[in-house]
Amino acid sequence: MRKLKLSLATLGFAALPGLALAQDAAAPGFDEIGPYIMTTLLFCMAGFLVFFMAAGFAMLEGGLVRSKNVTMQMTKNIALYSIAAIMYWLVGFNTMYPGEFNGFFSLGGQTVLDAVGVSAADAALDYASVGSDFFFQLVFVAATASIVSGALAERIKLWPFLAFVVVLTGFMYPISGSWQWGGGWLSEMGFSDFAGSTVVHSVGGWAALAGAIVLGPRLGKYKDGRVNPMPGSNLALATLGTFILWLGWFGFNGGSQLAMGTVGDVSDVSRIFANTNMAAAAGAVTALILTQVMYKKVDLTMVLNGALAGLVSITAEPLAPTLFGALWIGAVGGVIVVFTVPMLDKFKIDDVVGAIPVHLLAGIWGTIAVIFYGDASLVTQLTGIIAYGVFTFVASLIVWFILKATMGIRVSEEDEINGLDMSELGMEAYPEFKAG
C-alpha cells in the first residue's frame, strides 16, 4: 500500500513543474539562485558563530582578571560589541566596502538592507544578501575591539575605553579594512589575508599595544626590577572562553571563503574547518610542551594562549595549507606566544591576557606564513603588515593621547586597588566572596 501511495505522490509532484511552467516563466534553477542561497546561509551561520566569540572573549578575559575587576570586564565586553554593531551600521560597513573608490578612503553612510522578500531579480545573485554580508562583517569588527579590552584590563576607565571603541569600529578598522577586503590599494597590490590575521587581529593588537603604552602598567606589576604576577580569578572561565573562541573561529575562517554554492566552495569551507582546528591544536600542544620544558610545569594560561595564537596564525591562509602545513604554522604561533609574553614584561608593557602576543605578533607571523602555501610574496605581505601597523598604531596613539588629555583614561590609585567593580560600577561580581 505504501509503495502505491509513494508512486502516486511522485506522479503528483512530477506533474507540478508542468503546472508551474504553465503559470510563470522558467522558475529559477539551482544554478541561478543556489549559490546566493548557500552563500547567504554561510554568512548567517558563520556570522553567529563569530558572534559567539564575543562570549568567548568575555569569559577568557573575565577569568584572567582578578575578581574585583570581573564586572567591569563583562561590562566592557558587552558594551563594545554593541557599540561596534551600531557604528558599523552607522558608517563602518559602507566605509569598508565603498564599491568603486580611490583605494585609500571613502567615507560611507548608513547600511540599508535588501527589501523585505527581495526577489531573485533584485538580489545580488552572484554573492549574498546585504543583511548576511553586513552581519558577517560586523561580527569581525567586534572581534577587533575585544582584543583591545583584554590587554588594557584592570586599570582603564570605562567611558574613555568605549570612546576609543567608537573610533576604532566606526573609522579605523573600516578604513584600513577597505584597503584589502574593500578592494583597495593593498588588494590591488597582491596582499593576501584570507580571514584577517592582519586586517582584524593585528589591528586589534596594534590598538592594544598603543593603549598599553599610553595607559601604563598596573600598580605593582613591575617593581624594583621584578615582575609581579597577578593571577586570574577563574581559570575555568578562561578555558571555557578559549573553547568558545575556538568554536567561533570555524565561522571566522570558514565564512571567509565568501561562497558556498559550488562543490569547490563548500569543500573549501571544510578544508578551512580542518586546517583551523589543526592550527589551534598545534598551538596548544606546543605551548604545553614548551612550558613544561621551560618552567618544569605546564602553564594552563599559556596553553590557552597557544591555542589562540595557533588560530590567529592560520587565519591569513586557512585554505591552502595541507593539514601538516596548518600544524606547523599553528605550532610556530604557540612558540611565539610562550616567548613573547615574558618579553613584553621585560619592556614593561602590561598586557593582562596576552592579547598582544596572540593577536599582534602571531597575526604578523600568520600573514607572513601565507607565502608558504598561498599566493603572495614576502614583499606584498610585509607591505600590508607595515601599512596596517603604521596606520593603526599611530592613529591609536593619537586617540589614546587625546582621551588621556581630555577625559583621563586611568582610574585613581585607590580605585585601582579597591577594584574597578566597586569604584567604576558599584557592583561586585562575587559579592558574597572576598578574594583577590
Task: In angstroms, give the least distance from the CB of 307 to other proteins.
Answer: 34
Nearest residue (CB) to other proteins, 101 versus 430: 430
CA distance 67 to 433: 9
> Which residue, 160, 163, 164, is CA-closest to 208?
164
CA 110, 49, 356, 426 torsion-angle sign: positive
Nearest residue (CB) to other proteins, 5 versus 434: 434
CA distance 324 to 253: 18
CA distance 430 to 288: 31
Residues 103 and 188 sit within 8 Å (Cβ to Cβ): yes
Task: In angstroms, give the least distance from the CB of 348 to other proteins.
Answer: 18
Nearest residue (CB) to other proteins, 39 versus 233: 233
Residues 199-258 that bind other proteins (CB under 8 A): 220
Residue choice 31, 100, 414, 432 for contact with other proteins (CB under 8 A): 414
Nearest residue (CB) to other proteins, 223 versus 348: 223
Q: Which stretch binds other proteins (CB under 8 A): 10-18, 192-200, 276-284, 419-427?
A: 419-427
State CA 204 to chain mean position distance.
Answer: 9
Using CA atoms, how far residue 198 sits from 22, 113, 293, 361, 385, in Å, is 54, 28, 31, 10, 6
Find the length of the chain.
436
Residue choice 15, 21, 379, 427 for contact with other proteins (CB under 8 A): 427
Task: In angstroms, give the least distance from the CB of 346 to other proteins.
Answer: 22
Element (H, E) at 202: none
Binding mask 369-408 for other proteins (x = CB under 8 A): ----------------------------------------
Residues 123 and 129 sit within 8 Å (Cβ to Cβ): yes
Task: In angstroms, give the least distance from the CB of 435 to other proteins.
Answer: 8
CA distance 431 to 271: 47
Task: In angstroms, give the least distance from the CB of 230 to other proteins.
Answer: 13
Task: In angstroms, give the least distance from the CB of 222 to other proteins.
Answer: 14
Task: In angstroms, give the least distance from the CB of 417 to other proteins.
Answer: 4
Q: Which stretch binds other proteins (CB under 8 A): 29-37, 116-124, 362-370, 421-429?
A: 421-429
Helix H, strand E, coil C: the string for 78-142 is HHHHHHHHHHHHHHHHHHHCCCCCCCCCCCCCCCCCCCCCCCCCCCCCCCCCHHHHHHHHHHHHH
Residues 233 and 436 sit within 8 Å (Cβ to Cβ): yes
Nearest residue (CB) to other proteins, 31 versus 414: 414
Does 426 contact other proteins by CB under 8 A? yes
How many residues form the binding site for other proteins (CB under 8 A)?
10
DSSP 246-297: HHHHHHHHHGGG---SSHHHHHHHHHHHHHHHHHHHHHHHHHHHHHHHHHSS
> What are the φ/ψ torsions at residue 245 (nearest 5 degrees)?
-65, -45
Task: In angstroms, give the least distance from the CB of 431 to other proteins.
Answer: 10
Helix (H, G, I), strand (E, B) or coil at 222: strand
Task: In angstroms, give the least distance from the CB of 421 to other proteins.
Answer: 11
Q: Which stretch binds other proteins (CB under 8 A): 47-55, 73-81, 345-353, 413-421?
A: 413-421
Task: In angstroms, give the least distance from the CB of 82 to other proteins.
Answer: 19
Residue choice 413, 420, 424, 432 for contact with other proteins (CB under 8 A): 413
State CA 92 to chain mean position distance.
Answer: 16
Residue choice 19, 22, 25, 435 for contact with other proteins (CB under 8 A): 435
Q: Which stretch binds other proteins (CB under 8 A): 25-33, 123-131, 361-369, 414-422?
A: 414-422
Nearest residue (CB) to other proteins, 344 versus 411: 411
Nearest residue (CB) to other proteins, 67 versus 95: 67
Residues 355 and 208 sit within 8 Å (Cβ to Cβ): yes
Q: Which stretch binds other proteins (CB under 8 A): 104-112, 355-363, 398-406, 410-418?
A: 410-418
Enter the C-alpha cell of residue 44.
Answer: 548567517
Nearest residue (CB) to other proteins, 100 versus 224: 224
- Residues linked to residue 226 through DSSP beta bridges, in sequence order: 223
CA distance 129 to 135: 10
Q: Which stretch binds other proteins (CB under 8 A): 1-9, 14-22, 340-348, 417-425?
A: 417-425
Per CB under 8 A, residues contacting other proteins are 220, 413-414, 417-418, 422, 426-427, 434-435
